[in-house]
Homo-oligomer: A and B are copies of this chain.
């Protein structure tokens, strides 16, 4: 028996008994669901998988067998509305193409279930508003799955900013880029995806910057570019590079691209030091580095923090909110605000001039800070 490695571990996790955990219906069995969400549910403390929804009967049958879901807990999009009769389902997790979010969030709300919706929340600001209204009317909770806000390295960096550990931040450099290749994927279809690199991956730069600064931008200026002739970018854009101006004078320079080697990071440049987070938006592997001076020495510090499962953390947070009747930390309004800014970014790139963002205050929509183990 091995006894090491214990000294810095978190307190022993104490999962709720299986029958006390809230039941999730997972809607959409794509890569994200199969490779991340379903395995994460197996190790959740307050959540468990109870139902599946898919348009592919064969795939669903296989997955159901693997995860021990009986056939009466398997639904198609035609039978989606019957979820309302399934008492074991507390939460519906929408993992569909962006263009379908609105329809199924509203349907789910009408079924009387709480809704966790993948990001981007929808295709347009208008859709977001409808979704929020529908959930409000149905008296169910709505949360957008901003997993980064439940990730320990990002949270630690935000804490450093709040505590002014490195003094006041002056500007931020953020980018989220990856290489895509499958022209038939729905992400290159404007109607289903709503846009290209910006809503899919650039959104992380936008949302995380707002999250760590606890501040809302007042103006954006953006360039947009797609390599001519590349069929991937026939409908949706390849590159968006934008600056955001914040009330305190901070500038954030952000970039996203669909034809660039994977690069998911940001750096916060402060008066007395900087913080850099590599793999900031990845599922794991975050690497937090900080720098500051001490006398004549320059100290560059790698801060090792135990990783968590971000999907598990956000699902358990939502279960916790429901169990305790609290607002989620990232409710629908959090997704709406990102769409307001993304529309301004697109408009700026189109007009070739800066675009203003209406004043907003996230404190008005956020629930209490999540406790992340």
Contact = CB atoms under 8 A, between A and B. Distances in A.
| Residue among A39, A96, A263 having the largest count of chain B Cβ atoms under 10 Å | A263
A229 interface: no
Contact of A261 (B14, B43, B271): B271
A75 interface: no
A7 B270 CA distance: 17
Interface string A271-313: 1111000000011110000011100111111111111000000
A353 interface: yes
A5 B34 CA distance: 13
Interface string A109-149: 00000000011000000000000000000000000000000
Interface in A177-234: 177-181, 185, 187, 200-201, 221, 223, 225, 227
Contact of A293 (B8, B28, B225, B260): B8
Interface residues of A, number: 100
Contacts of A180: 4, 7
Interface of A: prevailing SS: mixed
A267 to B, nearest CB: 8
Given A221-B243, A241-B243, A297-B303, 9 more contacts: A2-B118, A4-B180, A17-B65, A167-B261, A173-B173, A223-B251, A255-B269, A260-B271, A263-B267
28 contacts: A1-B28, A1-B30, A1-B98, A2-B32, A2-B119, A3-B32, A3-B187, A3-B200, A5-B178, A5-B283, A7-B181, A9-B35, A13-B39, A18-B67, A18-B68, A171-B239, A223-B245, A239-B251, A241-B253, A251-B255, A259-B271, A261-B270, A261-B271, A261-B274, A263-B269, A296-B306, A297-B305, A352-B353
